[in-house]
Amino acid sequence: MTNNKDFITVSCDGTNSKEELKENEQNSKHPLIYLKVPLNSKVFCPYCGREFLNGSM
């Protein structure tokens, strides 16, 4: 089995689904995109800059 668990796939459309909302973070939408986050790493959404974590850092 080569089910890759070394990364997760997250989606972002610019909406703030979580309760945490930064003051300088706009609540504007953008096209829905998918990002792959490697294990123990993080990526930033190129549109809204939201941070996605995979694992505990």
For residue 41, count CB atoms less than 10 angstroms from its CB and return exposed for 0-12, middle for 13-18, buried for 19 or more. middle
Residue 37 or 48: the one with the smaller Cβ distance to Zn ion is 48
Contact region with Zn ion (CB under 5 A), list: 8-16, 19-27, 35-43 = 8-16
Residue 37 or 50: the one with the smaller Cβ distance to Zn ion is 50
Backbone phi, then psi, for 26, in 5-degree steps?
-75, 150
| Amino acid at position 1, single letter | M
Applying CB under 5 A, does 37 fall inside the site for Zn ion? no
Could you list the residues that contact Zn ion (CB under 5 A)? 12, 14, 45, 47-48, 50
